[in-house]
Amino acid sequence: MAASMFNGPISRRRLAGLLGTAGMGAVGVALAPGGVDRGSAAPGLHPSQADEAGHGAHAGHGTDAAATGDAPAARAATPSAGGTPARTSWAEMDAMHEAGIKAFPAPTAGLGGQLLPYELDGDVKVFRLECQFTQWEVSPGEIVEAWTYNGVVPGPEIRVTEGDKVRIHVTNRLGESTAVHWHGLYVPNSQDGVPFITQPPINPGQSHTYEFQIRDGNAGTHMYHSHLNAAVQVTKGLLGAFIVEPKDPSTRPPFDREYTVVLNDGPIGGFSVNGKSFPATQPLTAKKGERVLIRYMNEGLMIHPMHLHGMAMDVIAQDGYLLPQPYRCDTLNIAPGQRFETIVEATELGVWAFHCHILSHAESEHGMFGMVTALIVEE
Amino acid sequence: MAASMFNGPISRRRLAGLLGTAGMGAVGVALAPGGVDRGSAAPGLHPSQADEAGHGAHAGHGTDAAATGDAPAARAATPSAGGTPARTSWAEMDAMHEAGIKAFPAPTAGLGGQLLPYELDGDVKVFRLECQFTQWEVSPGEIVEAWTYNGVVPGPEIRVTEGDKVRIHVTNRLGESTAVHWHGLYVPNSQDGVPFITQPPINPGQSHTYEFQIRDGNAGTHMYHSHLNAAVQVTKGLLGAFIVEPKDPSTRPPFDREYTVVLNDGPIGGFSVNGKSFPATQPLTAKKGERVLIRYMNEGLMIHPMHLHGMAMDVIAQDGYLLPQPYRCDTLNIAPGQRFETIVEATELGVWAFHCHILSHAESEHGMFGMVTALIVEE
Amino acid sequence: MAASMFNGPISRRRLAGLLGTAGMGAVGVALAPGGVDRGSAAPGLHPSQADEAGHGAHAGHGTDAAATGDAPAARAATPSAGGTPARTSWAEMDAMHEAGIKAFPAPTAGLGGQLLPYELDGDVKVFRLECQFTQWEVSPGEIVEAWTYNGVVPGPEIRVTEGDKVRIHVTNRLGESTAVHWHGLYVPNSQDGVPFITQPPINPGQSHTYEFQIRDGNAGTHMYHSHLNAAVQVTKGLLGAFIVEPKDPSTRPPFDREYTVVLNDGPIGGFSVNGKSFPATQPLTAKKGERVLIRYMNEGLMIHPMHLHGMAMDVIAQDGYLLPQPYRCDTLNIAPGQRFETIVEATELGVWAFHCHILSHAESEHGMFGMVTALIVEE
């Protein structure tokens, strides 16, 4: 399965189309093309969503549409008293919230986590990573100086199979030394990426080559990231997913599509999912009835309990290792360095919010931001 | 079982009585009526507690009573040097600690989490929630402006059964828009409570009606809370427990009584258990040998590892879902958005401290506060 | 097994010797005696480590040695423009990082967690703890005023067996009252150590005696610590491990050696492992093929997800209780008050970094510090 199939960019047009097909008019409107004036104090009214009630196999109990009627005249901004700083009016707050939703998924430059191609040298898969300064658009118009592998956050996804021989050339174009740790992989000590313990640091302008064979039993969701000045380098973007597929796929639970969800936080990029802040995050999509594998990894400095609306998750693996007893939850607490694999049975139609439940990582008075995306289940 | 049975207020008089019956003289003294001058620099001495040693089935090894004798003359406050700000003396610290314990459970106005009554419309259970500004007494004399459902924090507990049809009318009397998310429930997408994705926000002065049927398999401990400006609205009090009982009680472990423990934190209410800060928190009580179901839910922005003294907890469910393999612990880490159900076998007599083990959420130099309560096991 | 066997100090000389024996020249060099001028802007170059590649059973894929050659001339410090404060140059950063590694394990005064001896009074094991002010060397030259049991951080380890009768005399030589809670143990309520609930506080200059019998079924990793002004007293050092061995060792998974890893954080001691900050932390050592029991306990105010490089951990017990289904991970999230027991199969040779994965608890621009140590696996 090509990574571009499940990690590819999803345009607002495509999302609007999907939703239109599914008959979700209201969301379709929210996602329809057209600029939103974020500064407007008197935004266009949101259309009644009474028509969206009752769809889906389990609805059957109509919304009290009368009570959800069109937005009232009170939506106009509350004027502030002259001379005192105005608190944002509720109508302004709503307008900012709405603008964020309407913009989702907002186009930004750059998309991380795409599959890293390799060359074969005999039976060795040869990958190349270059540590770079990158102007990275975290959310529309918010551009930060990220430190990246190959110009993207997260770095490109390395995906191999148990037993594979792997060689990775790393070149450092940054202003300080670095080194790469293969977090979760069994590697010879000399390849572990810890400066002055297992190798000299990779100085600016220099290169270093890592080489190891993927051990049987080491399948699962792993990571690669800097291990030098890492509190800075990793939160600035020197991180990526390292996925090891099992030689025998029947050893792991089956799934129909998969997503990797890389969590990060830090003073530069803020709260992000796969290198982007809402509304620039990419939604996950599934067709009804599919089993969706979601691979989580936390590259930040804080915990992030990820909450999926609408459907539970079966937690099947931790740090790559299959759990002897999977368990079910809807809010999965992920600490820095941890990875989890979950299977979601996409049984419920609709656009389901999916966010960190530390609410201050996901929403402010100005609307949703940061660690927010959605799972979209369509017919 | 009526919610008022297990969530009802427990007066200091009743607690003193329980303890007196159980022969815990020392604690009885600590909880006896009588004012405590918190500002006193020379508080009354704490009586010797030598007489409390040796009770309980497993004691059998008497305290070295000689070493626990009456408090010494040194208990008088240490005077501070003139001109320099005085550090609180240890005797003053002890007096403040003692005053807190003696006040527990301190009477305050308002008690949240009581069962929400409903009306039947045919076979639909109809509930009503009103979002209000409420002057809420978090601890004695500490009154904050909470944003509440029906005037209490936590909001009233909604309790239904798998298969029930539910309709909930929400009226917004606040100064900004809101919406209600049914955290943990399988609902049609249109009823999920996410503004601009699944519904328009409920503007000030407006109402909205949610309606759904509780899915079989969705029993357990869930929550309802605001999903608009939620980092503010939820920490200010717009939250409550949504308990789904199983159609067939034999599908879940048996218990003799149950408690719901709602954790919250935030700039308004501070660290709280069921909307109150120690010493205004309500203790949990049990008779020796009972199996006590404790339902935890974290509505705050931080983790809270809850530590029960004296007895272990069997964790039986996470986010409402029964664990295939329950496990035992005495400190349960609960992240925002998570719920856990635990069974405590109340085998140990006495008053057992029960608190968040992030100690700064539970104690200061001025005594215990915030996320502290007790489990009281009596004969 | 004597505690001194597994908790004894490991000198730099011994570590260098172990590593030399194992043929890890580069690390041997890194750890060789010799002063490092931390202030030097032009440190000695790190030798090529090309010779360390390829050892270990699973290597077999040589490092691209050409790319790892000696550090370049660019290593010299970047001079700063006069008048503006100079940002640390990458070469200075590397030198500070290297100095930390070379110093590891750095000698400091004091070693906590050593086995606490006891006297027998009939069949009662009698222990003595004295709460003291202690000048404690957290890392080389960094001396803080700790509050300790018997002059060390962590306090001495209490180690008994299920069924043991235990008496513990506590004397308070501090400037404020205290009390000791036996976190995780089933004790009579009167022995639980909560001031004004189960006992009067132990005032400065006073003593108190605790006495209880270890309950069958209460084996495992527990703690003792202050329960008065505990956010201050515990983070300052009033804490220790309380290990209960099973009467029948066959009831728990076998192991060849064991370590206790006490995590702490706070304004006084900072981020520490067993009372020390890297490079003053003690490494764990094992011979290849051994099963190493690692007992974790978190006495701080923050979570600490501990990440072991190179090998996975099997989590066998939580809060002392055997898990019905052990699970495997490489990053274990430990919340305040929690304990975990893990077994590591020491299959991989080398020096493996072992640290909190909240990277800001483990590394700064000045190098690794705080919650960092290593697991050293030798032939």
Convert the pLDDT of each residue in A161-186 to its tens digit: 999 999 999 999 999 999 999 999 99
What residues in C contact B310, CB-CB < 8 Å?
186-187, 189, 192
Measured in angstroms, the CA of C359 and the nearest CA of chain A are apart by 5
What is the predicted pLDDT for the residue at C268? 84
CA C160 to chain centre: 21
- Of B253 and A79, the structure prediction assigns the larger pLDDT to B253
What is the predicted pLDDT for the residue at A86? 54
What is the predicted pLDDT for the residue at B13? 52
* Residue B197 clears pLDDT 80, i.e. is over it: yes
| Residues of chain C with confidence (pLDDT) below 70 | 1-87
What is the strand order of the sheet A331-334 is part of?
A: A284-287, A372-378, A350-356, A304-308, A331-334
CA distance C113 to C258: 13
* Residue B80 clears pLDDT 60, i.e. is over it: no
CA angle C150, C151, C154 (to 5 degrees): 85
* Residue B44 clears pLDDT 90, i.e. is over it: no
What is the predicted pLDDT for the residue at B165? 98
What residues in B contact C206, CB-CB < 8 Å?
67, 72
Q: Is the dihedral of CA B360, B366, B369, B372 positive or negative?
A: positive
Nearest to A318 by CA among A335, A339, A301: A339
- Of B158 and C85, the structure prediction assigns the larger pLDDT to B158
What residues in B contact A61, CB-CB < 8 Å?
124, 165, 167, 211-213
What is the predicted pLDDT for the residue at A18? 42
Could you say which of B56, B97, B327 has the minimum Cβ distance to residue C318? Answer: B327
CA distance B285 to A375: 43
HSE-up of residue A57 (Cα within 13 Å, Cβ side)? 11
Q: CB distance C359–A187 less than 8 Å? A: no
CA distance C371 to C299: 13
CA B147 to chain centre: 18
The burial of A38, by beta-carbon neighbours within 10 Å (0-12 exposed, 13-18 middle, 19 or more buried), is given as middle
CA angle A96, A101, A106 (to 5 degrees): 105
* Residue B362 clears pLDDT 70, i.e. is over it: yes
CA distance B184 to B182: 6
- Close Cβ partners of C45 (under 8 Å, ≥ 6 residues apart): C70, C71, C75
Could you say which of A165, A197, A213 has the minimum Cβ distance to residue C30? Answer: A197
* Residue A377 clears pLDDT 90, i.e. is over it: yes
Report the chain C residue with the minimal C-alpha distance to residue A171: C67
Residue type, C355: H
Measured in angstroms, the CA of B220 and the nearest CA of chain A are apart by 11
What residues in A contact C62, CB-CB < 8 Å?
211
Q: CB distance A348–B189 less than 8 Å? A: yes
CA distance A273 to A154: 9
CA distance A296 to A339: 5
**For residues A12-40, average pLDDT:** 33
Phi, psi of A24 (to 5 degrees): -95, 75
Predicted model pTM:
0.83
Q: CB distance B350–C211 less than 8 Å? A: no
Preceding amide of B279 cis, omega within 30? yes
Give the residue from B329, B332, B369 with the most C CB atoms within 10 Å of its CB, the best one to mutate: B329
Could you say which of A301, A318, A321 has the minimum Cβ distance to residue C359? Answer: A301
Give the residue from B330, B340, B360, B369 with the most C CB atoms within 10 Å of its CB, the best one to mutate: B330
What is the predicted pLDDT for the residue at C266? 85
Q: Are B6 and B259 in contact (CB under 8 A)?
A: yes
CA distance A247 to A293: 18
Q: CB distance B190–A350 less than 8 Å? A: yes
HSE-up of residue B357 (Cα within 13 Å, Cβ side)? 29
Could you say which of B201, B301, B324 has the minimum Cβ distance to residue A359? Answer: B301
Measured in angstroms, the CA of B20 and the nearest CA of chain A are apart by 43
What is the predicted pLDDT for the residue at C93? 96
Give the residue from A127, A185, A197, A215 with the most C CB atoms within 10 Å of its CB, the best one to mutate: A197
Poorest-pLDDT segment among A95-99, B9-13, B165-169: B9-13
Q: CB distance C176–B49 less than 8 Å? A: no
ipTM: 0.82
Number of C-beta neighbours around residue A62 at 10 A: 14
Q: Are A355 and A362 in contact (CB under 8 A)?
A: yes
Which band of pLDDT confidence, cut at 50, 70 and 90, is reported for residue B88?
confident
Nearest to B334 by CA among B185, B181, B223, B177: B223
Number of C-beta neighbours around residue A251 at 10 A: 11
DSSP sequence for A21-57: HTT-HHHHHHHSSS---TT-SSPPPPPP-GGGTT-ST
Tokens standing for residue B194: 């996410």
What residues in A contact B266, CB-CB < 8 Å?
none
Measured in angstroms, the CA of B14 and the nearest CA of chain C are apart by 16
Q: Are C223 and C339 in contact (CB under 8 A)?
A: yes
What is the predicted pLDDT for the residue at A131? 98
Q: Is the dihedral of CA B298, B299, B302, B306 positive or negative?
A: negative
What residues in B contact A330, CB-CB < 8 Å?
183-184, 319-320, 337
Number of C-beta neighbours around residue B349 at 10 A: 23
Measured in angstroms, the CA of C239 and the nearest CA of chain B are apart by 13
CA distance A361 to A371: 6
What residues in B contact C232, CB-CB < 8 Å?
365
CA distance B337 to B222: 9
Give the residue from C126, C131, C189 with the most B CB atoms within 10 Å of its CB, the best one to mutate: C189
Tokens standing for residue C186: 């089933």
Measured in angstroms, the CA of B210 and the nearest CA of chain A are apart by 6
Q: Are A358 and B336 in contact (CB under 8 A)?
A: yes
% helix, strand, coil for chain B, step of 5: 15, 40, 45
Tokens standing for residue C240: 């220790």
* Residue B15 clears pLDDT 60, i.e. is over it: no
Q: CB distance B196–A46 less than 8 Å? A: yes
Which band of pLDDT confidence, cut at 50, 70 and 90, is reported for residue A264?
very high
Q: CB distance A353–B301 less than 8 Å? A: no
What residues in B contact C177, CB-CB < 8 Å?
90, 93-94
Q: CB distance C94–A197 less than 8 Å? A: no
pLDDT in tens, A45-93: 222 222 222 222 222 232 232 222 222 222 223 333 344 445 689 999 9
**For residues A278-305, average pLDDT:** 98
